[in-house]
Structure 1
């Protein structure tokens, strides 16, 4: 009786072994991975509202959070004022002086000419008196000097009138235009800062972690949301140095989920050496710890019309 039982047991073992040999699964264990993505801000502010939760899937362009940045409104008012002032300067440079300014200068020119006429008449009188030796040379020179000064003043006022009657010099126009461009640039900078009030999802992604809560201060460059891009699944396998020569970039692989038994076709797109043992993705390494370890990055090549679900860090095996 015992011998019959042993024979039956041996037959079962042989049958199981033969069935396993037809669908051999290697010792290479890998993990499901997704391309990670981080969302941060360029400006400091206080978190006013968070619109998503951890584990939530969002689409590209969805609003993730609102950041309160009070300085933006004040800077916008300053930029608008600078633009208004610069536009006024440029218009004045193009159009020249106003009518009131022209009237003022014309009045000064008229007064200057009147003084020049009076000085010229005084000069003519004293010139005749000097010829008759009725005045001294010093008195005659003083009148001559007053006439020359009045003439110089009139020439100066006429030149000023001509300048303001025409447009400003090219250099002044360029200067005014430069001030306007600088003011517009400052406004654009403020508008860019204003857009940073809202943190927007840069791609279709799943929110994995949220670093801060509402009311807390968010500093520039600090990552508020961590997650991974949906539809960016790949598989990561760690291979010891003694086995790495069995693989090469472009090689086709057949992967299997050990729990659902679903199979997935894949292709190796990169092979790189890992720098540390802690990076190894394996629950039971079957190699010498002195060996170098390499990483295979495998992407899907076809889903064979089967809708498969892949969870982050789920186990995958290579089937041969």
Structure 2
């Protein structure tokens, strides 16, 4: 074998040994630990307190809406009928209140006054008649029976005059304080009923409680929806976070405020910084189960949430988030 062949064989052998060493190193070296999370956002489900049929939808899925924008209208003939009933009851109560506070009409007062004056004149006549009969009885002209009858008619006429005077005073004074208070209470009750029905009627017009994007419309025009049914779902893309499920043996390197260098595959290779804002107080399901009866134990999972330190344009719920564990710095004052 020539020298050139020997050198070529030696180089080939070195290359083979090098390749085997690299392959062995890669087999023996564990791959980097990747933490995968999912982007979430605040979601609001818009529903009504009353049943109704959808009359109009003003939005479409994917549409951006501002707080206060009208989303849909419901039609509810029953609520409209109740409003008419409550309004009529309020008018009737107001009329009773006005009557109680105004008192008797001028015609009623004049009639009561005339009745009193008539009774007073009759009582005066009866008194004069009794006085004459009493003198005649004293002279022995009329019997005692006639005197007693005249006295009884005089007393009855006086009582009638007093009753007529009381009726006149009552007509002038108007209703009693208790009647006025009762009329006021009836008006307040009727107004409360109207306010309640009007509040229900406002529930037929549903508006956006915040500026967000329409993520789902769960019913169509003409469908009957029940109270509490989420007709429109809104998602606030400006209020997003990433949720990770971490094994408990990884928690020592996570604290509130820990910064996580994160990559979103849907947004390229750029790195974004997330800040841990929530660590679950209680562990959830077991991520890893022990296989040996001794010297091993189950590892629970804890939910960890982290928010972007700066707004990330284009970030949407459901996107994956990747954190390389080796790139994570240890909490301050601790060894990795």
What CA distance in whole angstroms lies between the structure 2 residues aligned with 1:136 and 1:297? 115
Check conservation: 2:237, 2:316, Cα contact below 8 A: no
How far off is 1:66 after superposition? 0.9
Query: Structure 1 residues 63, 3: closer, same or farther in 2, change over 3 A?
Result: farther
Check conservation: 1:204, 1:230, Cα contact below 8 A: no
Please list, as runs of the form range in 1=range in 2, the aligned pairs for 1:1-320 lying within 5 A after superposition: 2-3=12-13, 6=16, 26-133=33-140, 135-166=142-173, 168-259=175-266, 260-272=268-280, 277=285, 287-288=288-289, 290-303=298-311, 308-319=313-324, 320=327
**Normalising by structure 2, what TM-score?**
0.78
How far off is 1:138 after superposition? 4.5
RMSD over aligned Cα atoms: 3.2
How far off is 1:242 after superposition? 1.3
What CA distance in whole angstroms lies between the structure 1 residues aligned with 2:250 and 2:91? 72
What CA distance in whole angstroms lies between the structure 2 residues aligned with 1:275 and 1:214? 44
How far off is 1:37 after superposition? 0.9
Structure 1 residue runs without a partner (length 5+)? none
Aligned partner of 2:294 in structure 1 is: none
What CA distance in whole angstroms lies between the structure 1 residues aligned with 2:99 and 2:32? 84
How far off is 1:243 after superposition? 1.1
The structure, 1 or 2, with the larger RCO (C-alpha pairs under 8 Å, 6+ apart) is: 1
Secondary structure of the corresponding residue to residue 183 of structure 2: helix
Number of paired residues? Answer: 304
How far off is 1:188 after superposition? 1.9
Deviates most, 74-83 or 230-239: 74-83
Structure 2 residue runs without a partner (length 5+)? 1-7, 291-297, 328-336
